[in-house]
Structure formats: C-alpha cells, structure tokens
Amino acid sequence: METRTLPRRERDKIRQRDEMLAAALELFAESGYHNVSMHQIAQKAEFAIGTLYKFFKNKEDLYKALMMATAERYHRSLKEVLGRKEEVLTVLENYIAAKARIFADNLSALRLYFAETRGASFNIRAGLDKDIRKFYDELVDELAAVFERGVRTKVFHPLDPRHMAVALEGVTNAFLFCWREDSARDPYPANIPTIRDIFLQGVLSK
C-alpha cells in the first residue's frame, strides 16, 4: 500500500519515524555509533525522549532499523537496474554506473552500510549481519542471472555466473570504498570506464 493511501495518523507515524532515523543517521555519521545517545537523537529530531522510545526500544533497535532501511533502498535500486530487459553488457555497465549515483545520493547512509558489510560492527549488533546478508545474496543472485544470460548467448566465457557476480561486486565495492576514503584521489564516477575494462576484459568471450 502506498503511503498516501494510509490514514492520516499512520502517515504521521511514518513521517515521525523517518525524521528520527534521519536525525540518527546524521549523528551516527558525524560521531559514530558508540558516541551517540538516545537523548541526543531525540533532541536532534525535536521529539521527546519518550516518543523516541515508543518507536524504538533502544539504540541498537534504532540502528538496526536504520541499516535495514538503507540496505533495502540500496539493493532495491540496484535490482531494478539488473531487471531491465537490455543487452547484458548494457545492463552491467548501467549497474556499475548506478552504484555511483546511489552512493552519491545517500553518502552518509551508505558509509554506515559499507562499514557494516565490511564486518566492522557485526559483533556488537548481533543478528544484523544475517539480515543484510539476505539482501546481498538476493542481489548477487540477480547479478548472476545476468551473467548466466551472457554465458548462454556466448557474450562471456563459460565461467560460473555466481563467481562472476561476486567478483564484480568485489571490484565495484573496492572502488566505492576508496571513493569513500578519498573522494578527490579515487572518484568512483571517473573510474567507471576503468572498472568496466578491468572486469569485462577478463570475462568477455571475444
């Protein structure tokens, strides 16, 4: 059901929750998870602390909601690109480029997301890794399906499509991580042709 079709009270709850998550994201990005309190988040979002606790039982619960919302948006956008009925090389080139657009549009959230997927925080927030892993596995499956189509039509060498999908994810995420660390030195958008050539030269059949 679309948000605009919900009763006003439900729309207000969604809006309030989104405002709380946005405030938390800004604080986590600035100061780190451990250095932010629920009181600071409530103050930033301009809600009473009691209202914040009506939505989230503790900071870990809020963080998980934030990360899951980020992962869902990120993977939904990429899966939409992979689902287009275009020539396989076009799909892959669009996929590589889409990562730059999505990352730039959601920089703070994706910084936290990539910290999670690189294993920086899994131990202190148990269970989140399995939930995000599910999104990741579904994305790799979609990407592998594109490679399988390319193998079937002899665009690619007859390699394992899932291995190719994992390899492309590794290459693109490594460049994204470098962009996050030093955007001037390693700008992902400018490196898209390099990423494409490094990867595709190894899998193209011609």
Structural domain boundaries of the chain?
A: 1-56, 60-203
The tokens of 2 are what? Answer: 């679309």
Q: What is the pLDDT of residue 79?
A: 93
Q: What is the pLDDT of residue 205?
A: 76
Q: What is the pLDDT of residue 110?
A: 66
pLDDT digits (tens, 9 = 90+) for 3-36: 567 788 888 899 999 999 999 988 988 888 889 9
- What class, spelled out in words, does domain 60-203 have in CATH? mainly alpha
Q: Is 58 exposed, middle or buried (0-12, 13-18, 19+ CB in 10 A)?
A: exposed
- What class, spelled out in words, does domain 1-56 have in CATH? mainly alpha
Strand extents, DSSP E, the chain: none
Q: What is the pLDDT of residue 114?
A: 65
CA 82 – CA 200 distance, rounded (Å): 16
Question: What residues of the chain score a pLDDT lower than 70?
Answer: 1-4, 110-111, 113-129, 206
CA 205 – CA 170 distance, rounded (Å): 21
